[in-house]
Amino acid sequence: MAIRFYNARIISMSNKLPQLITGELWVDGSSITYVGESVKNRDCIFEKEIDCKGNILMPGLKNAHTHTAMTFARSFSDNLPLDEWLNTRIFPMEAKLNDDCIYYFSTLGFAEYIRNGITSGFDMYFNYPQYAKACIDSGFRSVYCGSVNNFGGIDRLENEFIEYNQKHELLSMVLGFHAEYTTSPEIMKTISDIAHKYEAPVFVHNSETKKEVEECIGRYGKTPTAVLDELGLYDFGGGGFHCVWFDDNDCEIFKKRNLYAVTNPCSNLKLASGICNLKKFYDLGINVAIGTDGAGSNNALDMFREMYLASVLSKITSGDASAIEPYEVIRSAVSVGARAMGLDDCDALEAGKKADIIMLDISAPNMQPINNVISNIIYSANPSNVIMTMINGKILYENGNFTTIDTERINSECNRLMETFN
């Protein structure tokens, strides 16, 4: 469909410095065809024209680390440290998840993403066929990260990597595994071999807790980052999720390898895992992306909250109220996140890029007065300001209405499935 958005404030994210374009944006099919000032004489015929009424158009937020189907665990296992949370609550529940659970709990997560202005997710979980079906049915763009560990997955990792990078335009896959502490050296070496075969990046939970790092040093005499690097897992890029307990050598490896550190501030606070030193990462030029983690440890899938926490926690850890510019945080949540996921055509609003676009209502009281639009997004905005979400050129949410997801049915199915666990 050819769609014209006009009378818009456009944050294209094409530049390293903030730039606000007053004008219009055109979409044809799945791609953006024009971004710029209003055009008086045009030859294009549009099937739909949308008056943005001065509201913000910007690229969709990129959730660069999540476990979508873990919506089943929302408010189910709160107030526990990570190791107890995983071993006594999450792992036993995950053993009960069937195909229907993965499909419906994933779809519930996609509805939350779409409602909250998130247009793609970097997802690590299992039962990919059902997850992929839910993605396609919902119209959500997803990059799947392999979830190999000692409990399984290595035998099908290479075939999945090939298959799901060819299956559908909304789906792609990146090599990955759960964590150093759940994966044997032999399995990690096999993943490294696959990465070298395809010259592919690798992502993994890394240095989420102090205990994780201390136990790794006890096993290998070095940190998780150093272990992964020594095994060649980072030879073709990739990165880590959380990256809270990094030492100087870990930072140097990430900088040297041009890796991505994906921060998850809300989950790290809720599980008392620690606070990531983001200012150090930014100062060193390390790529920083942002994710929510799963709903079991967050409990919301809200990138606005993550951006806010990433910003204000950096002020506390550095003792500097000007630690990170708001626009840098937005770039992490949009452009850097897209590139971490291999979605280079989704990182900005430019002609030729994918039409993954959100509209924010700036007439709402929490966005007024309009002193600084960029600061408002970081410090004032929340999901209620999202009034439209478009993915791959299709409007999936507009003014409170979903076009691909029957939320009443999904809610009912998810609650029915939870009852079967009791």
Q: At 395, is the pLDDT very low, low, confident or very high (cuts 50, 70, 90)?
A: very high
Indicate if the pLDDT at residue 363 is higher than 90: yes
User: What distance in Å separates the CA atoms of residue 213 and residue 208, rounded to the nearest whole number?
Assistant: 8
- Give 166 or 120, the one with higher predicted confidence: 120
pLDDT digits 0-9 by tens, 292-341:
999 999 999 999 999 999 999 999 999 999 999 999 999 999 999 999 99
Token pair of 258, please? Answer: 């041009």
For range 336-347, the mean pLDDT: 98
Indicate if the pLDDT at residue 39 is higher than 90: no
Token pair of 87, please? Answer: 């071993």
pLDDT digits 0-9 by tens, 169-198:
999 999 999 999 999 999 999 999 999 999
Predicted local confidence at residue 126, as pLDDT = 87
Indicate if the pLDDT at residue 16 is higher than 90: no
Indicate if the pLDDT at residue 41 is higher than 80: no
Token pair of 350, please? Answer: 């430019």
User: What distance in Å separates the CA atoms of residue 296 and residue 91, rounded to the nearest whole number?
Assistant: 12
Which stretches does DSSP call E strand in 69-211? 118-123, 141-145, 171-179, 202-206
Handedness of CA 61, 62, 68, 71 (dihedral sign): negative
Check if the beta carbon of residue 193 is closer than 8 Å to that of residue 161. no
**DSSP assignments along 272-295, one per residue:** T-----HHHHHHHT-EEEE----T
Q: At 229, is the pLDDT very low, low, confident or very high (cuts 50, 70, 90)?
A: very high
b/e per residue, 343-363, with b = 16+ CB within 10 A? beebbbbbeebbbbbbbbbbe
User: What distance in Å separates the CA atoms of residue 262 and residue 137, rounded to the nearest whole number?
Assistant: 28
For range 239-246, the mean pLDDT: 98
Indicate if the pLDDT at residue 422 is higher than 80: no
Q: At 15, is the pLDDT very low, low, confident or very high (cuts 50, 70, 90)?
A: confident
Token pair of 300, please? Answer: 């919301």
Token pair of 94, please? Answer: 């995950």
Q: At 40, is the pLDDT very low, low, confident or very high (cuts 50, 70, 90)?
A: confident
Estimate to the nearest angstrom the gap between the alpha carbon of 30 and the chain centroid.
Answer: 20
Indicate if the pLDDT at residue 421 is higher than 90: no
Predicted local confidence at residue 376, as pLDDT = 97
Position 224: which residue type? P
CA torsion 287-291-294-300 (nearest 10°) is 160
Indicate if the pLDDT at residue 43 is higher than 80: no
Residue 333 φ/ψ, nearest 5 degrees: -80, -15
For range 277-286, the mean pLDDT: 97
User: What distance in Å separates the CA atoms of residue 189 and residue 192, rounded to the nearest whole number?
Assistant: 5
For range 202-206, the mean pLDDT: 98
User: What distance in Å separates the CA atoms of residue 201 and residue 209, rounded to the nearest whole number?
Assistant: 23
In percent, how much of the chain has pLDDT > 70? 100
Indicate if the pLDDT at residue 137 is higher than 80: yes
Check if the beta carbon of residue 103 is closer than 8 Å to that of residue 417. no
What's this model's pTM, rounded to 2 decimal places? 0.96
SS3 letters across 177-229: EEEHHHCCHHHHHHHHHHHHHHCCCEEEEECCCHHHHHHHHHHHCCCHHHHHH
Predicted local confidence at residue 76, as pLDDT = 87
Predicted local confidence at residue 244, as pLDDT = 98
Predicted local confidence at residue 90, as pLDDT = 87
Residue 259 φ/ψ, nearest 5 degrees: -85, 170
pLDDT digits 0-9 by tens, 68-103:
999 999 998 888 888 888 888 888 888 899 999 999
Predicted local confidence at residue 42, as pLDDT = 74
Predicted local confidence at residue 284, as pLDDT = 98
Q: Of 386, 384, 410, 413, whose CA–CA distance to 397 is shortest?
A: 386
**Average model confidence (pLDDT) for the chain?**
96
Indicate if the pLDDT at residue 38 is higher than 80: yes
Indicate if the pLDDT at residue 124 is higher than 90: yes
Residue 6 φ/ψ, nearest 5 degrees: -135, 170
User: What distance in Å separates the CA atoms of residue 397 and residue 390, rounded to the nearest whole number?
Assistant: 7
Window from 36-40, 267-271, 286-290, 376-380 with minimum mean pLDDT? 36-40
Predicted local confidence at residue 393, as pLDDT = 98
Q: Exposure of 419 by Cβ count < 10 A (0-12 exposed, 13-18 middle, 19+ buried)?
A: exposed
- Give 93 or 282, the one with higher predicted confidence: 282
